[in-house]
A and B are shown apart, each in its own frame.
Chain A
Amino acid sequence: MKNFAVVLTLLLAIAACSTTSGPETGGAPVETRDPNAGVTRVDVPPPNGANLPAILTSGVLAQRSIYFALDRYDVAEEYRGLLTAHAKFLVENRQFKILIQGNTDERGSHEYNLSLGQKRAEAVKQTLTLLGVRDDQIEAVSLGEEKPRAEGHDESAWAQNRRADILYSGEF
C-alpha cells in the first residue's frame, strides 16, 4: 500500500487568460482562455487496519455503540454499565485514548446534523469524564449523517444511525 497520496495529472493544459483587441479583428474583442482545463486529481489513500489488544476486541469492551432516541442527545440509563466498563479501562490504562464519533439520521441539513451528532458525542464524553476519564484521553467529534450504519430510508434504519461510537487508539 502506498503511504502517500497518489497524484495523477490528468490534464497538463494550463489555463491561459488574456484579452486583446486590435485592427486585425475588425474591432471585435478577442478573448483567449481554457476554462476547466486544469483540474488535477488527488486520491486519498485508504486507511490502515487497526491492531488492538484482545481485551478491546472481545467481551464488554468490544461493545462500542450508544444509541439515541429521536431528537434525544442524552445517554440512556441502559448504557450506564457499558460506559462504566470503558471508563474503568481508560482510568487503568491512561496511555489509551478514545475518539467518540456522534451520528444522526439522514433527515435535514448536513451541516446542522453534524452539530447534532456532536451533541451526542459530547454527552458520551461527559459521562466518561464524570467516571474519571481524563479530558486529554477523549476527543468528541461528529460524523453527522455522513456515515450511516444502516442505508435504508425508514425509522428502523434511522434508529440505528442515531448513535455514538467509541474508537480506541489505533482505530483512528
Chain B
Amino acid sequence: MTSTFLDRFIRNLFAAALLGTAVSAHAQLAIEITGAGANRIPIAIADFGGDVGASQALASVVRTDLERSGLFRLINVNGVAMTETTPVDYAGWKSAGADALAAGSLGSSAEGRLEARFRLYDINRQGNLGGAIYTTAVPQLRAAGHRIADYIHEKLTGEPGVFSTRIAYVYKTGKRYELRIADSDGQNAQTALASSEPIISPAWSPDGARIAYVSFENKKPIIFVHSLATGSRQVVANFKGSNSAPAWSPDGSRLAIVLTKDGSSQIYTIAASGGGLTRLTTSAGIDTEPQFSADGGMIYFTSDRGGSPQIYRVPARGGTVERVTFEGAYNVSPRPSPDGKSLAFITRRDGRFQLAVLDIQSRQVQVLPDSSGRDESPSFAPNSRMIVLATEAGGRGVLSAVSIDGRIRQRLSVPAGDIREPAWGPFLK
C-alpha cells in the first residue's frame, strides 16, 4: 500500500467521522438484543486485509449485523486475518466449530472509492459459496458491510437479509418532531423533516425514494408525499376535515387514504401525485388504517362497523367487505406481510396492547407478548421475517424489532426523547 493512499484513506475516514458527528451524534439509535434463534449458524468472519483500522471497522459491521439477526453465532477468529484470496484451512476452521467462513479485503478503487471484496466458504463441504465486490463512497463504509452481511444471510439461510434496508421513524423531544431515516441497525440517522407540530403515519413508497406521511403543521392532519433526496414535498390530500393514514399500492401509483370530508372517517384511494379520488368504503362508523395486500388485490382496514374496532378487508377495486379478526374487542393496525402469508396487528387483551400475527392460510393467531403492554404501529421488514413496532420502556417511546416467531427481539432507543411510528423501508433496488 502506498503512503499516498494511506494518507488519503485516513483523511477520508476522519472526514467521514466528522460528518457523522455533525448529523446527529447525540441521537443515534442504540440497539440492544434480547433473545436469539434456536439453531444459530456458527460462522467465522476473519479479520479483513487492507488498511487495519478501516478493514476492522468493516468486519465489525458484518459481525454485528449477523449476530444481531439472532440467526448466527460468531466463532472467535483470534485475530486471524484473511483476504478473499488466502487459501482456507478447512480442517482448522472445522475444529474451531465454524460451519461457514468469510474473508475479504478493503482497498480503494481508481475513483478513490472504497472497494470491499469478500468470499464466503462452506467449511463442511470445503467449498466456495461465492463472493462479491462492493464499492461505496468513503463515508458509506458501513453500507459495504451491510451488503456483505446481506449476501451471507441469503446464502446461508435462503432468505434475503435486511441489513442494507432503512427504517423511518418519528423522533420527539419536548415539542419538536423529526421524521428520521436510519439504517436498519439504527446508525446513520438523518432528519428528513423537522417541525414543531406532530408528524405521524410515515409510509415508504415501494421504490424507497419517497415517504408519505401526515403532518399537523397547518393545525389539521394533511397528507404529504416527500422526496427524500431533494426534500421536495407535495400535498396529496388536503380536503375539508381530516386527511390521514396513507398507504402505498405495491406498484406505487396510488395511495389508500382516510378522509372525513363526507362525514365520518372513510377509505378512499387517490393517485400518488394527487387527483383521481375514489371512495372505497361506505359505513356509518369509522373505517381507517387501510393497507394494501402484497399483491395489491386487497385492502385491509380497521372498522368499528361491528360495534368494536376489528380488522376487515375489501377488494382494492371495491366489493364485498369481509371480517378478518374475531377474538377480542380491540384489534387494530393491520399490516399484511410482504410475502402475503401473514397479517400483523395490535390486539388489546386485558387492557394491554400487544402485537399479534395472523397466519392468513390457517387463520391461527399468535400473540407476541412484550413487557410494556403498549405495543403500537407494527411494520414488516421487507423479507417478512421481522416486525418493528413502537413500544415503551422506562416511560419513553422506543422501537422493538421482533422475529415473527417471537424468539428474537431487539430494542432500539435514543438517550433522550421518544421514538415512535416506525416504518421499515423496502429492499434497495
Chain A residues close to B by CB (< 8 Å) = 7, 9-11, 13-15, 17, 25, 28-44, 46-47, 99, 101, 107-112, 114-116, 118-119, 122, 139-144, 146-147, 153, 167, 171-172
Contacts and interface: CB of A to CB of B under 8 A. Distances in A.
Interface of B: 19, 22-23, 113, 117, 119, 130-137, 139-140, 143, 147, 164, 166, 181, 183, 188, 190-198, 200-201, 215-221, 226, 228-231, 233, 240-242, 244-245, 258, 260, 263-265, 286, 288-289, 302, 309, 330, 332-333, 346, 348, 353, 376-377, 395, 421, 428-429
A111 B258 contact: yes
Contacts of A17: 429
B193 A44 contact: yes
A110 B421 contact: yes
Contact of B140 (A28, A34, A111, A114): A34
Nearest to A102: B242
27 contacts: A10-B23, A11-B190, A28-B117, A31-B135, A32-B136, A34-B136, A34-B137, A35-B164, A36-B166, A37-B140, A39-B181, A39-B192, A41-B191, A42-B226, A42-B233, A43-B195, A44-B193, A44-B197, A112-B333, A115-B264, A118-B241, A118-B264, A118-B286, A119-B264, A122-B260, A141-B242, A141-B260
Contact of A28 (B131, B147, B198): B131
A128 B183 CA distance: 49
Contact of A111 (B197, B231, B245): B245
A90 B139 CA distance: 59
A13 B188 CA distance: 14
Given A109-B346, A141-B220, A122 B264 contact: yes
Contact of A30 (B133, B195, B229, B377): B133
Contact of A109 (B181, B195, B197, B332): B332
B143 to A, nearest CB: 5
Contacts of B309: 109, 112
Contact of B302 (A30, A34, A112, A139): A112
B353 A101 contact: no
Contact of A108 (B195, B330, B429): B330
Nearest to B196: A46
B190 A111 contact: no
A19 B133 CA distance: 10
A42 B192 contact: yes
A14 B229 contact: yes
A148 B190 CA distance: 27
Contacts of B264: 115, 118-119, 122
A144 B421 CA distance: 14
Given A28-B117, A36-B166, A172-B218, 10 more contacts: A13-B139, A35-B143, A35-B164, A36-B188, A41-B192, A44-B215, A110-B200, A111-B289, A111-B333, A112-B289
Nearest to A30: B133
Contact of A47 (B140, B196, B233): B196
Nearest to A8: B231
Contacts of A40: 192, 228-231
B231 A109 contact: no
A1 B306 CA distance: 50
Given A31-B133, A35-B428, A109 B147 contact: no
Given A15-B229, A47-B196, A10 B134 contact: no
A144 B192 CA distance: 23
Contact of A37 (B139, B353, B376, B395): B139
A34 B143 contact: yes
A172 B217 CA distance: 10
B201 A111 contact: yes
Contacts of A109: 289, 302, 309, 332-333, 346, 376-377
A139 B238 CA distance: 12
**Top 6 nearest A-B pairs by Cβ distance?**
A40-B231, A115-B265, A146-B198, A44-B195, A141-B220, A38-B229
A30 B183 contact: no
A44 B196 contact: yes
B263 to A, nearest CB: 7
Contacts of B395: 153
Contact of B193 (A42, A47, A171): A42
Nearest to B218: A172
Contacts of B201: 110-111
Nearest to A139: B240
Contacts of A43: 193-195
B265 A143 contact: no
B133 A29 contact: yes
